[in-house]
């Protein structure tokens, strides 16, 4: 199809907030392209439809404004923030809907289902109230840095329809005896007064094991104060704790959270979805997306975003080489961030192309055809075929 990149961009925009009619028309176009022998274009539309369906599943079908069902005052931009009485520094910041993520994060199947359950509970408070039960009011999100924990928490808050009171708990710690516990009380008291989601970032800073021999009595009093405030907060709103170091948490902390979500490093399929999301406004071939997902084995979403940024830079500097820029962009990235990717794959990408060709062709997860391998390497089909069949023979081109 002529001008397919424009058609694809229009389809992507339409599927951001799709109706049944929009989906049907794009499905018709996909089927027509398939029948016309335009397999790559049909596959691209199928990917957009699949991604859109995943986002639809994440978002409850009947969202309500939770504020209508919750007690408390409304937060506004003029609401005074709680402060540390010793330093006068604010204990939190407030994020309203327009500052929260609009796009659903890429999640694995089980995690996506768990998030959907939480959102559905908050979307149907009236049903739960009539049954004499309440929604889950506390959630602990933990995992490696860069896996998207904070983005997930903020996106959930946007779907629920409440502003977010964000507090980095390491910022509540004071050198003055008793001030840290007082700051925690002030923060929770503020959150109890207003309709909001309370987001506790760097949660392990004050939720440490009370039997840690390295900690003094003050931290034990702080943890006790935190536990007491979490108990009170469970009856009022939604509290989300975020930590990169779940192993440091006191066992009693875990019992205070109704839901505990582990955010793993993304799978191959998830890495492909992340790569596609961060490739825009480029329209890379499927082989490019698969190659970048293969290269980013064991990384986080934040690192994949950096990798795609390298690709966008490379294409911006040499637009005529967009379809063969993935390998060059990967080498740029590895030169600048040598410790971020798997060492074995780094050696393949930075080494001889014939060895990389063999690895790509034989990887069962990639399932690369010879054509796809030539797209990545920017070499002729004849040369790539010779490398795959005899990797020790280097073609002179």
Domain of 198: which CATH number? 3.40.50.300
Instruction: Calculate mean pLDDT across residues 223-252.
Output: 86
Give the residue ranges of DSSP H helices in 92-175.
109-123, 125-130, 149-160
Query: Do 45 and 82 form a contact (C-beta atoms < 8 A)?
Result: no
Q: What's the pLDDT at 68? A: 47
Mind listing the pLDDT tens digit for each residue in 115-145? 999 999 998 888 888 898 888 999 999 999 9
Sign of the torsion formed by the C-alpha atoms of 116, 118, 123 and 129: positive
Identify whether residues 14 and 108 lie together within a single domain.
Answer: no
Look at residue 201 and tell me if it is in a domain.
yes
Query: Do 303 and 146 form a contact (C-beta atoms < 8 A)?
Result: yes
Identify whether residues 6 and 143 lie together within a single domain.
Answer: no
Which of residues 263, 285, 304 is at a domain's end?
263
Identify whether residues 112 and 257 lie together within a single domain.
Answer: yes
Structure tokens belonging to residue 308: 């795609």
Lowest average pLDDT, out of 45-54, 119-128, 188-197, goes to 45-54
Query: Do 314 and 332 form a contact (C-beta atoms < 8 A)?
Result: yes
Higher pLDDT, 299 or 40: 299
| DSSP code, position 224 | H
* Closest residue by Cα to residue 72 from 187, 192, 162, 230: 192
Mean pLDDT highest for which of 26-30, 86-90, 155-159? 155-159
Angstrom distance (rounded) from CA 51 to CA 43: 12
Q: Could you tell me the CA-to-CA distances from 202 to 66, 150, 152, 245 in Å, in that order?
A: 26, 10, 15, 9
Identify whether residues 131 and 220 lie together within a single domain.
Answer: yes
Q: Could you tell me the CA-to-CA distances from 357 to 189, 307, 331, 384 in Å, in that order?
A: 61, 20, 15, 7
Identify whether residues 108 and 255 lie together within a single domain.
Answer: yes
Residue linked to tokens 């069962």: 364
Look at residue 93 and tell me if it is in a domain.
yes
Q: List the end-to-end C-alpha distance of the chain, in Å, as a whole number.
A: 33
Give 57's pLDDT tier (boundaries 50, 70, 90): very low
* Closest residue by Cα to residue 314 from 333, 295, 336: 333
Q: Please, which residues have CB within 8 angstroms of residue 363's CB and are 6 or more apart in sequence?
A: 294
Q: Which domain holds residue 96?
A: 66-263
Identify whether residues 132 and 71 lie together within a single domain.
Answer: yes
H-run or E-run covering 259: strand 259-263
Find the helix packing angle between 20-35 and 39-58, rounded to 10°: 160
Look at residue 96 and tell me if it is in a domain.
yes
Angstrom distance (rounded) from CA 329 to CA 304: 12
Position 10 pLDDT exceeds 60: yes
Look at residue 335 and tell me if it is in a domain.
no
Look at residue 172 and tell me if it is in a domain.
yes
Identify whether residues 84 and 224 lie together within a single domain.
Answer: yes
Give 39's pLDDT tier (boundaries 50, 70, 90): confident
Query: Do 14 and 26 form a contact (C-beta atoms < 8 A)?
Result: yes
**Average pLDDT across the chain, whole number:** 83
Lowest average pLDDT, out of 28-42, 134-148, 303-317, 362-376, goes to 28-42
Q: What's the pLDDT at 324? A: 62
Identify whether residues 42 and 78 lie together within a single domain.
Answer: no
Which of residues 220, 246, 263 is at a domain's end?
263
The total number of structural domains that make up the chain: 2
Lowest average pLDDT, out of 162-171, 215-224, 278-287, goes to 215-224
Which of residues 234, 263, 292 is at a domain's end?
263
Identify whether residues 44 and 99 lie together within a single domain.
Answer: no
Angstrom distance (rounded) from CA 368 to CA 128: 50
Identify whether residues 110 and 195 lie together within a single domain.
Answer: yes
Identify whether residues 88 and 208 lie together within a single domain.
Answer: yes
Identify whether residues 39 and 115 lie together within a single domain.
Answer: no
Q: C-alpha 240: how far from its chain's center?
A: 16
Could you write out the DSSP letters of every residue in 266-324?
Answer: P-HHHHHHHHHHHHTT----HHHHHHHHHHTTT--HHHHHHHHHHHHHHHHH-GGGGGG
Q: What's the pLDDT at 65? A: 45
Q: What's the pLDDT at 271? A: 93
Q: What's the pLDDT at 163? A: 94
Angstrom distance (rounded) from CA 326 to CA 349: 11
Look at residue 198 and tell me if it is in a domain.
yes
Look at residue 157 and tell me if it is in a domain.
yes
Look at residue 350 and tell me if it is in a domain.
no
């Amino acid at each position: 199809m002529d001008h397919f990149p424009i058609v694809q961009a229009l389809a992507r925009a339409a599927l951001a907030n799709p109706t049944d009619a929009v989906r049907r028309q794009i499905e018709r176009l996909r089927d027509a392209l398939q029948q016309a022998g335009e397999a790559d274009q049909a596959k691209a539309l199928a990917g957009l439809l699949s991604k859109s369906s995943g986002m639809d599943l994440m978002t409850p079908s009947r969202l309500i404004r939770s504020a209508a069902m919750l007690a408390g005052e409304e937060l506004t931009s003029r609401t005074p923030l709680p402060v540390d009485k010793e330093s006068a520094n604010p204990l939190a910041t407030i994020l309203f809907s327009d500052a929260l993520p609009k796009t659903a994060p890429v999640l694995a199947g089980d995690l996506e289902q768990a998030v959907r359950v939480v959102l559905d509970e908050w979307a149907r408070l009236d049903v739960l109230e009539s049954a004499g039960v309440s929604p889950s009011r506390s959630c602990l999100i933990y995992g490696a840095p860069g896996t998207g924990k904070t983005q997930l928490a903020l996106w959930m808050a946007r779907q629920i329809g409440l502003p977010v009171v964000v507090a980095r708990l390491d910022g509540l710690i004071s050198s003055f005896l008793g001030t840290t516990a007082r700051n925690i009380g002030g923060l929770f008291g503020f959150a109890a007064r207003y309709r909001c989601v309370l987001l506790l970032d760097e949660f392990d800073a004050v939720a440490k094991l009370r039997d840690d021999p390295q900690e003094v009595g003050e931290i034990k009093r702080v943890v006790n104060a935190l536990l007491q405030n979490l108990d009170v907060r469970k009856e009022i709103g939604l509290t989300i704790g975020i930590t990169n170091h779940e192993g440091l948490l006191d066992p009693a902390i875990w019992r205070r959270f109704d839901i505990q979500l582990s955010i793993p490093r993304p799978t191959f399929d998830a890495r492909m979805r992340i790569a596609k999301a961060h490739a825009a406004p480029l329209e890379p071939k499927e082989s490019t997306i698969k190659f970048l997902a293969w290269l980013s084995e064991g990384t986080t979403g934040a690192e994949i975003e950096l990798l795609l940024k390298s690709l966008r830079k490379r294409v911006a500097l040499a637009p005529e080489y967009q379809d063969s820029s993935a390998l060059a962009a990967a080498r740029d990235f590895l030169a600048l961030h040598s410790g971020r990717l798997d060492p074995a794959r780094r050696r393949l990408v930075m080494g001889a192309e014939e060895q990389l060709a063999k690895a790509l062709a034989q990887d069962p997860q990639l399932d690369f055809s010879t054509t796809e391998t030539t797209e990545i390497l920017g070499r002729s089909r004849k040369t790539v075929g010779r490398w795959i069949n005899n990797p020790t023979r280097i073609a002179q081109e």
